[in-house]
């Protein structure tokens, strides 16, 4: 009987101890569950923030594993993309656009060689382009000097949200929300486009492989706010340009074209309107050619309604349509151009400048006795001595490029004017934009 009582007591004590143990275990498990929930919430928040600010890196391992077979299948179906010029759909050993050799898998030297050839190939494309940039700046925004996180000061907001951001040291406008739409701040907000104008801007390309997408919609509108034309640009290598427009008789039309975007790097989009002809260009290649479009009076730029996009843009420039170079030269004795542009604070000529430089070179080839003093001009922003040096270096870079293109060095003289010869008021954004220029003065 004692043994039975001892055993019962032992079981009761063990049960009590177990109850306390299990009670602690349950409380511990509850706290662990709460902590796990909190960690999951924090993780989701972090992932959401990461996704909003760095969509390049936001992709789960599971997505990557699911995407790889599909990517390989797409690559085998669409051919290879040239790393030199970005042309897609190549099937042979050489790029059908620029002639660069297909890089071998794992061959770092071949890839590096192709990458080194990229600027030359892009310059060549622009040199053959029929895009003629405008002569007089109506609106320009290089977003230099803007405050990070603030709304871009030269724009008005129609919908969504936009803010100034920085990507690899480059200041940009980030269209942060789906369907964000902005318009430039102008004196006459509804009627500022001339019968001939050009519009250009840079945007950061997305990536089909990494599922990073960006779509831009350019609305060309009349004074009532109705679309005259709508250009939608899908910012990936396999994307398209979709254009809808109205003729003067109000007929609705549409046109599609392939858009060989350079992925995860900067691309240059340009459009020109001349009385009724509308053309759209990407990195110097003409994608859209509309012969009969009604005349627009204003424009907006919009991020499309698709989610999970990254829309970053900069260097927006709107100009009045160009007058033929020879006519300008005969009228003024010089050619003032804003179409030759450089990296900020440097004398590195941007590839899109080759369109204008090629026109100057052709003018000089057609007129063998023509000689120019090439003048570089800056605004008054920054140090005067540095501006002087920079203007000299830029003028020298243009002369070197023209010489490379076959113009005799004896016909060209490089002169830097710095900020000493303004043609507009340096106290306004518009004035400073006009002062940042290149002049070809007849000798």
CATH number of the domain enclosing 189: 2.60.120.200
pLDDT tens for each residue of 228-247? 999 999 988 888 999 999 99
Residue 439, pLDDT > 70, answer yes
What are residue 318's DSSP bridge partners? 139, 199
Query: Rounded to 5 degrees, what are φ and ψ at 143?
Result: 50, 20
Long-range contacts of 16-22 (CB under 8 A, 24+ apart): none
| pLDDT higher than 60, residue 254 | yes
Say yes or no: 279 and 407 in one domain. no
pLDDT reported for residue 209: 85
- Better-scored residue on pLDDT, 96 or 376: 376
pLDDT, the chain, mean: 80
Q: Is the pLDDT of residue 38 over 50?
A: no
Task: State the pLDDT at residue 103.
Answer: 67
The reply to whether 114 and 160 lie within a common domain is no
User: Distance between CA atoms of 63 and 359, rounded to whole angstroms?
Assistant: 48
- Statement to judge: residues 317 and 439 lie in one domain: no
Highest mean pLDDT pick, 15-19, 74-78, 295-299? 295-299
pLDDT attached to residue 441: 97
Contact yes or no for 296/229 (Cβ under 8 A): yes
Q: Is the pLDDT of residue 189 over 80?
A: yes
Which of 171-180, 278-287, 301-310 bottoms out in mean pLDDT, i.e. has the lowest?
301-310
Provide the percentage of residues in the chain whose pLDDT is more than 90. Answer: 55
Sheet holding 181-184, edge to edge: 155-159, 181-184, 298-303, 215-221, 227-234, 239-246, 252-259
- The predicted structure's pLDDT at residue 80: 72
Tokens of 383: 């140090």
Do residue 313 and residue 421 come from a single domain? no
Asked which of 322, 338, 360 is the last residue of a domain, the reply is: 322
19: in domain: no
Same domain, 107 and 166: no
Task: Judge whether residue 334 has pLDDT over 80.
Answer: yes
Tell me what pLDDT residue 84 has: 56
139-160 average pLDDT score:
95
> What does the pLDDT look like over 67-86, one tens digit per residue?
444 444 444 445 777 665 56
Question: What was the pLDDT predicted at 314?
Answer: 96
**How far is Cα 443 from Cα 431, in angstroms, rounded to an integer?**
27
Domain membership of residue 11 (yes or no) is no
From residue 120, give the alpha-carbon distance in Å to each of 85, 86, 123, 127, 354: 9, 13, 5, 10, 10
Q: What's the pLDDT at 247?
A: 94
Measured distance CA(105)–CA(250) in Å, rounded: 52
User: CB neighbours of 85 closer than 8 A, spacing ≥ 6?
Assistant: 95, 97, 98, 100, 118, 121, 122, 125
* Domain shared by 424 and 391, yes or no: yes
Task: Calculate mean pLDDT across residues 139-154.
Answer: 94
Question: Domain boundary residue among 266, 293, 322?
Answer: 322
Mean pLDDT of 47-73: 40
On the question of pLDDT at 59 being above 60, the answer is: no
Percent of the chain topping pLDDT 70: 74
* Neighbour count for residue 402 (Cβ, 10 Å): 22
The pLDDT, as a whole number, for residue 46 is 37
pLDDT digits (tens, 9 = 90+) for 371-403: 999 999 999 998 999 999 999 999 999 999 999
Q: Tell me if 48 is assigned to some domain.
A: no
Q: Which two tokens stand for residue 22?
A: 């299990």
The residue ranking higher by pLDDT, 115 or 416, is 416
| Strand 437-442 relative to strand 334-337, pairing | antiparallel
Q: Region 89-100: what's the mean pLDDT? A: 60
Instruction: Tell me the residue range of the domain where 118 lies.
Output: 61-123
- Please tell me whether residues 165 and 119 are part of one structural domain: no
Regarding whether 346 and 284 lie in a shared domain, the answer is no
Please check whether residues 239 and 184 belong to one and the same domain. yes
- pLDDT beyond 80 at 310: yes
Asked whether the predicted pLDDT for residue 58 surpasses 70, the reply is: no
How many domains does the structure of the chain reveal?
3
Burial class, 275, CB count within 10 angstroms (exposed 0-12 / middle 13-18 / buried 19+): exposed
Same domain for 358 and 248: no
Considering 322, 354, 377, which residue would you say is the last residue of a domain? 322
Above 60 in pLDDT, residue 208?
Answer: yes
**Average pLDDT rounded to a whole number, residues 179-194:** 96
225 and 291 housed in the same domain: yes
Which residues are paired to 416 by β-bridges? 376
**SS3 per residue for the chain:** CHHHHHHHHHHHHHHHHHHHHHHHHHHHHHHHHHHHHHHHHHHHHHHHHHHHHCCCCCCCHHHHHHHHHHHHHHHHHHCECCCCCCCCCECCCECCCCCCECCCCCCHHHHHHHHHHHHHHHHHHHHCCCCCCCCEEEEEECCCCCCCCCCCCCEEEEECCEEEEEECCEEEEEECCCCCEEEECCCCCCCCCCCEEEEEEEEECCECCCCEECEEEEEEECCCCCEEEEEEEECCCCEEEEEEEECCCCCEEEEEEEECCCCCCEEEEEEEEECCEEEEEECCEEEEEECCCCCCCEEEEEECCCCCECCEEEEEEEEECCCCHHHHHHHHCEEEECCCCECCCCCCECHHHHHHHHHHHHHHHHCCCCCEEEEEECCCCCCHHHHHHHHHHHHHHHHHHHHHCCCCHHHEEEEEEECCCCCCCCCCHHHHHHHCEEEEEEC
């Amino acid at each position: 009987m004692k043994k039975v009582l001892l055993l019962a007591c032992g079981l009761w004590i063990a049960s009590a101890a177990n109850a306390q143990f299990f009670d602690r275990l349950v409380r511990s498990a509850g706290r662990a569950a709460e902590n796990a929930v909190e960690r999951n919430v924090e993780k989701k928040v972090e992932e959401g923030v990461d996704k909003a600010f760095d969509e390049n890196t936001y992709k789960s391992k599971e997505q990557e594993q699911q995407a790889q077979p599909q990517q390989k299948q797409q690559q085998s179906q669409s051919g290879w993309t040239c790393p030199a010029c970005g042309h897609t759909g190549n099937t042979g050993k050489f790029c059908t656009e620029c002639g660069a050799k297909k890089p071998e898998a794992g061959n770092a030297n071949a890839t590096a060689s192709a990458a080194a050839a990229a600027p030359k190939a892009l310059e060549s494309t622009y040199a053959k382009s029929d895009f003629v940039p405008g002569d007089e700046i109506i609106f320009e925004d290089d977003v230099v000097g803007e405050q990070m996180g603030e709304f871009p000061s030269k724009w008005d907001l129609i919908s969504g949200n936009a803010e100034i951001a920085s990507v690899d040291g480059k200041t940009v406008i980030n269209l942060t929300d789906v369907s964000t739409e902005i318009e430039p701040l102008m004196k006459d907000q509804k009627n500022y486009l001339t019968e001939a104008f050009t519009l250009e801007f840079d945007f950061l390309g997305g990536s089909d492989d990494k599922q990073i997408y960006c779509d831009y919609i350019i609305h060309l509108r009349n004074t009532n706010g109705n679309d005259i034309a709508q250009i939608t640009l899908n910012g990936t290598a396999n994307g398209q340009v979709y254009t809808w427009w109205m003729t003067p008789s109000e007929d609705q039309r549409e046109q599609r074209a392939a858009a060989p975007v350079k992925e995860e790097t900067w691309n240059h989009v340009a459009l020109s309107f001349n009385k009724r002809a509308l053309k759209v260009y990407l990195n110097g290649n003409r994608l859209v050619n509309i012969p009969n479009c009604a005349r627009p009076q204003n424009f907006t730029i919009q991020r499309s309604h698709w989610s999970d996009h990254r829309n970053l843009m900069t260097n927006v420039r709107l100009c009045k349509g160009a007058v033929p170079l020879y006519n300008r030269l005969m009228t003024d004795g010089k050619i003032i151009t804003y179409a030759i542009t450089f990296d900020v604070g440097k004398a590195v000529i941007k590839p899109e400048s080759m369109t204008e430089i090629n026109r100057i070179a052709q003018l000089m080839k057609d007129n063998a006795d023509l000689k120019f003093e090439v003048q570089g001009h800056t605004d008054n922003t920054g140090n005067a001595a540095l501006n002087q040096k920079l203007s000299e270096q830029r003028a020298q870079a243009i002369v070197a490029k023209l010489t490379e293109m076959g113009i005799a060095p004896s016909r060209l003289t490089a002169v830097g004017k710095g900020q000493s010869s303004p043609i507009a008021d340096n106290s306004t954004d518009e004035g400073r934009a006009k002062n940042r220029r290149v002049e070809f003065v007849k000798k």
